[in-house]
């Protein structure tokens, strides 16, 4: 019994997050019930929509890919105390740069594809150097600068597809990228593309960098305590600049993978806010690279599952925004759950619990 309690105490952040997500579903269920709909029915269609058959499952996975990569983008920043809220803008610029390289350049696939992905990553990374410079040289709060920089990126890409790049079809978009710049579809007739391998590599890369290398150790030291890092010879500003650049690169890569694997061109307004969702994904994933995969799966499933739910159970699509919001609220408020959680698994006073963890 003692051991079980200790386990639950140690893993408190993980369990509280799970409880918060479950709680969100309960609240949504109650709302559905209150409006005269059968919540269990809704759950059925939700699960079917997300994972019910091969098509739905692969559709979900294809949304998990950009969410995960973008989530990792937020994570590598946040681990170095860089809160990059500009992922959406970096993602759009990355997608645009990769699309341009994809349709203009003519090269064999083994070089063209990596090149277009790299172009996307670089565009995002370079764009993130603006808030990096503002932060480390001019002490401008990066949350403000990055969030504002989303707008120029959005409208710049918008401008490019409307005014600069000749439109071939009816929608504002770049021309299609060459076959050589595309990520191959893995299962015929589905949306599952080879971007899933890029995603896996990004997750492993982030884990390896942060936990296995000296550089990652220094980044985390900066993230936790800049003063101590400085006292021990870690160049704090350099590490933060690098974190900005890396975060922007990941964001740009997420956009490039969308272009190379799903749309095959830069389609105006193609991102349903992956960049903004990435923040929630990373935080729900407890800023752990593997946690990000799990939480991206949850948010990916929310996107596809709700679609089917609204079609079959007559729940208006507007409710989907509500559900998303409630999940985010519950997770954001999870510290409130901490008190209750602690009371269940702890004794009376916190001092006691402190001691117990230390045993």
Partner 1 sequence: MAYILELHDICKHFGNVLANDHVSLKVEKGTVHSIVGENGAGKTTLMNILYGLYKQTSGEIFIDGTKVDIESPSDAIELGIGMIHQHFKLIPAMTVAENVMLGEEPTLGKVFLDLKKINERTLELSDKYGLAVNPKSMVEEISVGIRQRVEILKALYRNANILILDEPTALLTPQESEDLFRIIERLRKDGKTILFISHKLKEIMQISNNITVLRDGKVVDTVKKEDTDEVHLARLMVGRDVFLKPAPKPKKIGEAILRVEHVTAVNEYHHPVLNDVTFDVRSGEVLGVAGVDGNGQTELVKALIGLQPLSGGKIFIYDQEITHLSVKKMRSAGIGVIPEDRLQEGLVEDFSVQENLFLGLQRSQPFSNGTNINWGAVRSNAEELVKVYDIRTPNIEHKARLLSGGNQQKIIVAREIFHAPDTIIASQPTRGLDIAATDFVHEQLIKQRDAGKGVLLFSLSLDEIMLLSTRIAVIYKGAIVAVVNKDDVTPEDLGLMMLGGSYEHIPA
Q: Which residues bind partner 1 (CB under 8 A)?
A: 212-215, 217-218, 220-221, 224-225, 227-235, 347, 349, 351-352, 354-359
Angle at 235 between CA 231 and CA 239, to 5 degrees: 130
CA 121 to chain centroid, in Å, comes to: 15
CB 165 → partner 1: shortest distance, Å? Answer: 41
Which residues face 173 on adjacent strands? 267
CB 9 → partner 1: shortest distance, Å? Answer: 11
CB 352 → partner 1: shortest distance, Å? Answer: 5
Contacts of 100 (CB under 8 A, 6+ apart): 119, 174, 266
CB 290 → partner 1: shortest distance, Å? Answer: 18
Rounded Cα gap, residues 215 and 79, in angstroms: 12
Rounded Cα gap, residues 319 and 186, in angstroms: 33
CB 14 → partner 1: shortest distance, Å? Answer: 16
CB 202 → partner 1: shortest distance, Å? Answer: 19
CB 221 → partner 1: shortest distance, Å? Answer: 5
Decide: residue 305, CB within 10 A, 0-12 exposed, 13-18 middle, 19+ buried.
buried
Residue closer to partner 1, measured from CB, 188 or 349: 349
Rounded Cα gap, residues 130 and 247, in angstroms: 13
End-to-end Cα, the chain, rounded Å: 15
Nearest Cα to Cα of residue 45 among 319, 308, 301, 303? 308
Residue closer to partner 1, measured from CB, 78 or 260: 78
Which residues face 267 on adjacent strands? 173
CB 350 → partner 1: shortest distance, Å? Answer: 11
DSSP string, 132-149: HHHHHHH---HHHHHHHH
Which residues face 352 on adjacent strands? none
Nearest Cα to Cα of residue 277 among 61, 65, 105, 26? 65
DSSP string, 39-81: HHHHHHHHHHHHHSSHHHHHHHHHHHHHHHHHHHHHHHHHTTT
CB 349 → partner 1: shortest distance, Å? Answer: 7
Largest alpha-carbon pair distance within the chain?
A: 69
CB 82 → partner 1: shortest distance, Å? Answer: 16
Count of alpha carbons within 13 angstroms of residue 102, beta-carbon side: 31
Eight-class DSSP state of 170: S
Rounded Cα gap, residues 181 and 117, in angstroms: 9
């Amino acid at each position: 019994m003692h051991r079980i309690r200790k386990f639950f105490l140690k893993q408190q952040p993980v369990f509280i997050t799970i409880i918060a997500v479950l709680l969100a579903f309960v609240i949504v269920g109650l709302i559905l019930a209150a409006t005269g709909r059968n919540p269990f029915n809704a759950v059925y269609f939700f699960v079917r929509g997300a994972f019910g058959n091969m098509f739905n499952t692969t559709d979900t996975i294809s949304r998990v890919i950009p969410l995960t990569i973008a989530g990792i983008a937020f994570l590598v920043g946040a681990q170095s105390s860089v809160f990059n809220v500009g992922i959406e803008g970096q993602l759009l610029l990355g997608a645009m740069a990769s699309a341009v390289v994809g349709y203009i350049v003519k090269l064999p696939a083994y070089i063209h594809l990596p090149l277009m992905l790299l172009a996307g990553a670089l565009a995002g990374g370079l764009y993130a150097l603006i808030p990096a410079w503002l932060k480390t040289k001019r002490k401008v709060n990066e949350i403000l600068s990055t969030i504002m920089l989303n707008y120029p990126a959005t409208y710049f890409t918008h401008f490019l597809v409307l005014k600069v790049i000749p439109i071939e079809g009816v929608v504002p978009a770049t021309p299609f990228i060459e076959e050589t710049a595309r990520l191959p579809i893995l299962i015929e007739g589905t949306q599952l593309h080879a971007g899933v391998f890029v995603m896996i590599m990004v997750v492993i890369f982030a884990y390896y960098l942060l936990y296995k290398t000296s550089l990652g150790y220094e980044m985390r030291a900066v993230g936790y305590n800049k003063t101590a890092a400085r006292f021990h010879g870690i160049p704090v500003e350099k590490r933060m600049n690098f974190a900005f650049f890396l975060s922007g690169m990941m964001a740009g890569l997420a956009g490039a993978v969308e272009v190379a694997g799903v749309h095959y061109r830069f389609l105006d307004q193609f991102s349903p806010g992956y960049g903004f969702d990435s923040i929630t994904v990373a935080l729900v994933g407890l800023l752990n690279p593997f946690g990000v995969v799990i939480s991206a799966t949850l948010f990916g499933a929310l996107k596809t599952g709700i679609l089917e739910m609204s079609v079959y159970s007559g729940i208006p699509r507007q409710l989907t925004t509500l559900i998303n919001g409630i999940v985010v609220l519950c997770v954001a408020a999870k510290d409130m759950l901490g008190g209750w959680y602690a009371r269940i698994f702890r004794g009376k006073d916190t001092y006691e619990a402190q001691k117990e963890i230390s045993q």
